[in-house]
């Protein structure tokens, strides 16, 4: 597919000609008639995201506290504190339910 003029290197523009559409250069007299239909699709690749909290390994050596789970009402939850904002802001506390069947996560 042509997108730049082979004579002067400027970008070609699509315009409607007498019999068909064509690519035309705005600075020189170059014209290329479009004789067939063409199209293409480009699908962007999704960026692989890192788990900010460290994944499942981050919950291996954490302490538990008396915090009631909002989903199953279990009386204990694991917790960890991480500085997620600037240094003058308080730390964010993340909780995970101690009930293995629930495993609900929330933050305070």
Q: Which residues pair with 13 in a beta bridge?
A: 24
Helix (H, G, I), strand (E, B) or coil at 58: helix
Helix (H, G, I), strand (E, B) or coil at 28: coil
Residue 25 marked as a ligand binder: yes
Residue 20 marked as a ligand binder: no
Residue 69 marked as a ligand binder: yes
Residue 98 marked as a ligand binder: no
**Contacts with 98 (C-beta within 8 Å, 6 or more apart), sequence order:** 64, 69, 74, 76, 77, 78
Q: Which residues pair with 64 in a beta bridge?
A: 78
Question: How many CA atoms lie within 13 Å of 47's alpha carbon, on the beta-carbon side?
Answer: 3
- Rounded CA-CA distance 92/90 in Å is 7
Binding residues for Zn(2+): 5, 8, 25, 28, 69, 72, 97, 102
Binding residues: 5, 8, 25, 28, 69, 72, 97, 102
């Amino acid at each position: 597919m042509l997108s730049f003029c082979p004579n002067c290197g400027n970008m070609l523009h699509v315009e409607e000609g007498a019999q068909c559409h064509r690519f035309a250069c705005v600075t020189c007299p170059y014209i290329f008639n479009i004789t067939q239909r063409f199209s293409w699709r480009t699908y962007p690749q999704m960026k692989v995201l890192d788990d900010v909290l460290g994944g499942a390994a981050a919950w291996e050596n954490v302490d538990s506290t008396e915090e009631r789970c909002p989903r199953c009402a279990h009386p204990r939850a694991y917790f960890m504190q991480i500085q997620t904002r600037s240094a003058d802001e308080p730390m964010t506390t993340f909780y995970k339910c101690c009930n293995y069947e629930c495993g609900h996560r929330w933050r305070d």
